[in-house]
Chains A and B, each alone.
Chain A
Amino acid sequence: MVFFLQTSNWMLQTLLKKYPIFCPVPRLQQLPAIFGCFIFTTPYQSAKAVDPKAIRKGTVMLRSKDEDMKKSRTGRDNFSPRPFNLFAAGASKRRGEVLHDTPDDTEHPAISRKQRLCSPEKPLSAEEWEKLKGAFGSPNQFEVYMLNQMISDNTPIDVAKSLLAAVASRDGDIPYRLLVIYLALCVSQEQTEEIYDVHDIMKARFKTLETSAYTLLIKGLSSSQRWRDALSLLEEVKKVIGPSKGHYGDCIRGALINQEINLACELFHEMLAKDLMPNLGTMQVFFDTGKSVKNDQLKTELIHILSYLRDNQVYPGEALMQSIKQWFESIPGENWKGNLTTLKNSGQCPSCNEYLESINLSPEEYSILKEKIIKDVIQGTDTFIKTTPQELEEFKVFVHKRPPFDIVIDGLNVAGICRKSNPSQTLLDVVEHLAQRNLRLLVLGRKHMLSRSHRWHRDNLAAMQKKADFFFTENVSEDDPFLLYATLHSGSHCRFVTRDLLRDHKACLSDALTRRLFFKWQRGHQIVLSSYKPRKKITFEPVLRYDTIVQTSDNTWHIPYDDNILERSSYEVPTKWLCLQKK
């Protein structure tokens, strides 16, 4: 009996872990924002705001319904009953948790090194260092190890000095390597005087330095009185090897601290010209400076940074967002008001009631994207890799002969969504569900679907073919490129159904701009089946109507930002917004 109780308890725990939706209420409360944002089952419904409490009730109801489903559920067809957008920040992580039931991997005991020699707390004499060194396993590495240990232990700098003194008295010289690590220690502890000294010594001893020393020196000097030395170091870095965004960022920080706005802007533009994406921290320093310095040039620069964020689809983190907000609110005479908010699917901002930019591409963008998809994704370097020229031609004729479609379905992807049900049945259900709405459908598949097998029933296929157009590619061809082509060809009203994230096709695109266009188009046109029960229920995830990007109108700014807690994958967009409104 006792045994039974234990197991049942264990079962309950694992179930709770596996299906987060059955968790007690407190955990759900963390997610109201996401719930509030994406609760609409189909893109065709009008938007309605539902408060998180209602959703909680809904999930409780689901729980009783799903009781019998629970045990039989296997990993793959385990749909999370909550609707959430495929591209919302953190979605992939949640999906991963649902699918894999990851064990808590917090129990990684700190790997104990063979020799963990703590750095001493007081400066030692040369003999004492020798003694310590004798005790250490690999004497050649002793100094390097010790200095590194000091960095991680945050030991007083005097200890490191005494070690260097011991080395110097023994060898009459200090290896460059040790100097660099010592410099790192100084920089991490912000020992300005020491950094000056090491800088002078290095400059005098060595004609050129290497990257790590430059990085450390620039970092150390830029926040000190001698920040101009950092600039000359930057020039040196340019001669040898291209400076990194960190180098530029530190120099800009130095210039801004010392109110050299011109110089900072120059450096910033130089950096952008070199295709370096500035760190968020660098931009934050600009905004922080803007709070105290009222300067027209700086203001235009800050607006320029915001447009840079927009053009490159960069989303600020929470810290930068706060800086931006405070800067806007500090502009004299303009009376900006910032609010943190999440958006409705209608694209209306709840705090200022403005509608955000539509996710639809402009006609020029659309035609560029279409051209690039054909050129890069379908044809690529060799048409034979994904398909054959004959097949491509055949498909083009097929698509051009027919009037535009409303929905293009990736047959094999949709069919494979539910393991328990027969693939042809799944596909038939979806096709019928969509056909009820009088939509013109195209289903893409492979030829093997036509061959007689238990997976693909003739009757189901025949039933589907009455309701939708079908195109079967060769078994060795890829069907996704055809899906993209057919959708793009049909026009911007056309959507496509697949669960595939299409990342590999996005990667085929040659430049970053088209990749961004593709992603925007994908967010606005991809329909994802979010839950399916054989012959009963079909739900689609909502398609976003607004674009998640930094945007402005006459007297508002809307800036999406990354939550600190939520991990966002590169193919997802943030869900939180900063709404700035001029009153």
Chain B
Amino acid sequence: MNIFNVGLLTVVRRPVLQLAAQNGKKGVLLLKMPCKVVACRTLALSPWLNKDTSPHATEKLDLDGWKHVMRSPLQEEESERTLETEEDSQLAATRDLVEMWRLSGKIVPENIKEEELKILMECPSKSSKKKYLKFLALKEIAKKTDKEKNERKKKAKNEQKLKEKEDPDDDLENQHGKLKNTFLMKFWSRSEDGVYNWRGAQSMIFGQPLVYDMAYENYMSLREMQNAVKQLMECEGLNRRAMEPFHLHYCNLNADDPYHKEFIKRYGEAWDKLFVTVTEKDHVEIFPRDQLVYLTADSPNVMKMFEHDKIYIVGSLVDKSIQTGLSLARAKRLNLATARLPLDRYLQWEEGAKNLTLDQMMRILLTLKDTGSWKEALQFVPKRKHAGFVETSYSKHPFDTRMMKTKIRDVMASQENTGKPFARNPPRQQMQKWWEEIS
């Protein structure tokens, strides 16, 4: 607002006065001049007036002075505004409203695109409008900080370069450093990608299938769908980097779905090069029914261990409105086995829903596949949701092979210790002696 006003002031002062000085002979302008100059004068004078009066008579403050200030520049503005009001469309009105909201200190974006405005106008209620605006505003802020950060980095880099140029000695050393004798070329991420692609290709042939069921499109809002795609991209990335990737199947993904479009929008050309099986078919058409296990938090069955010959299905559903039983209903319809993670058995659950995001699920499954250890796998459950691991789970669940091994190792270690009982804890012995001396 201030900037706007200062701008306005300059508009008022400069062009008018300068123009008046330059072509003062033109009668038209001279006619226009007086009112503007007056407006200008009140603006310029009011602070002086106040400063003059206040120290002498503190009692008699000009309480309504601000009103004159507020009123004075209005003639100017109105002429500007009347032009705008001619196209009084709904869109402009909404834009104005957003602008006014911004002025009143609400969290709304500074710049808003036409399409965003349209989405905003389609919001059914006032609160949904405000929510959407807040979302846009936060997005804008995040973008801005990112930009600033990048610029700062760039600046730092440039400075570094300048420095290098300034110190030729240093530069020489660097040159030597770079040309050091090495048996490897610089390891580019490109070469890494090559490795990942080989692994991906291998998993396409030999890997254990993992199915993402994309049939929940109708249950999700636009934003939930976008979030789901984002999470799926992360899943795919995690899987690619894994030692032994799953063979991912995106089932029930039709070519015309907004889901599919969002994927293509996000991945771009890379979509066609992914090592993922994308199919319109249902998972029951591809795989034998008895091998399929639908993973859902609503399932009555607790998953005991990761089985390498099963095909796990994860519903790719981001559910912010808590529609319970959706994926369980789907599994029921297709008559599939279901399972849920043993969260309660291993974690002291505190808050939050037991449904995890798709990428957390992926991490857990990958870890389970590699190690078979629930404790290691469930560390990917967000920390805020639980208070820690349940201690007793070690001894209770012998099916956990890895834990078994550690247990055996522990037992063996303790047996070793029994041979020389005091060897391992000398400090305690000392403590005892010290205690005896004191007493």
Contacts and interface: CB of A to CB of B under 8 A. Distances in A.
Interface of A: 123-127, 144, 158, 161-162, 164-177, 179-180, 197, 201, 204-213, 239-242, 244, 382, 384-386, 388, 475-476
A421 to B, nearest CB: 26
Name the interface size band of chain B: 35 or more
Interface string B59-75: 00111111101110010
B63 A165 contact: yes
B104 A213 contact: yes
B436 to A, nearest CB: 37
B332 A176 contact: no
A165 B65 CA distance: 6
A204 B71 contact: yes
Contacts of A388: 332-333
B189 interface: no
Interface in B29-87: 43, 46-47, 50-51, 54-55, 58, 61-67, 69-71, 74, 77-78, 81, 84-85
12 contacts: A125-B55, A127-B54, A172-B46, A173-B70, A174-B69, A206-B100, A207-B81, A207-B96, A210-B97, A244-B126, A386-B325, A475-B300
B46 A169 contact: yes
B1 A176 contact: yes
A168 B100 contact: no
B30 to A, nearest CB: 26
Contact of A201 (B62, B71, B103, B300): B71
Contacts of A161: 63-64, 66
Nearest to A383: B329
Given A169-B65, A241-B129, A207 B5 contact: no
Contacts of B101: 210-211
A144 B5 CA distance: 19
Contacts of A127: 54-55
Given A169-B50, A171-B5, A177-B103, A241 B97 contact: yes
Nearest to A476: B300
A334 B51 CA distance: 69
A179 to B, nearest CB: 8
Contact of B50 (A126, A173, A384): A126
B106 to A, nearest CB: 8
Given A125-B61, A126-B54, A144-B105, A168 B94 contact: no
B242 interface: no
A173 B332 contact: no
Nearest to B323: A385
Contact of B47 (A170, A197, A384): A170
B67 A197 contact: yes
Nearest to B108: A210
Interface in B308-333: 324-326, 328-330, 332-333
A175 B103 CA distance: 8
B70 A241 contact: no
A218 to B, nearest CB: 16
Contact of B126 (A162, A164, A241, A385): A241
Contacts of B5: 171-173
A207 B104 contact: no
B137 interface: no
B47 A240 contact: no
B interface majority secondary structure? helix
Interface string B298-314: 00100000000000000
Contacts of A239: 93
B392 interface: no
A437 B84 CA distance: 80
A210 B104 contact: yes
A204 B74 contact: yes
Contacts of B50: 125-126, 165-166, 169
Contacts of B51: 126, 169
Contact of A205 (B55, B63, B64, B74): B74
Q: 3 nearest interchain CB pairs?
A: A384-B329, A168-B66, A210-B100
A165 B103 contact: no
Contacts of A476: 300, 328, 332
B233 interface: no
B97 A204 contact: no
Contacts of A207: 81, 84-85, 96
Contacts of B47: 169-170, 172
A208 B104 contact: no
B104 A165 contact: no
B9 interface: yes
A244 B129 CA distance: 14
A385 B333 CA distance: 9
A287 B352 CA distance: 48
B63 A123 contact: yes
B395 interface: no
Contacts of A124: 61
Given A170-B47, A385-B329, A204 B300 contact: no
B46 A168 contact: yes
Given A171-B5, A173-B70, A388-B333, 11 more contacts: A166-B50, A172-B43, A174-B70, A176-B103, A177-B105, A205-B70, A209-B100, A211-B97, A211-B126, A240-B93, A241-B129
B23 interface: no
B77 A205 contact: yes
Interface string B318-361: 00000011101110110000000000000000000000000000
Contacts of B325: 385-386
A274 B97 CA distance: 21
A115 B341 CA distance: 49
Nearest to B90: A239
Nearest to A208: B96
Nearest to B129: A241
B9 A172 contact: yes
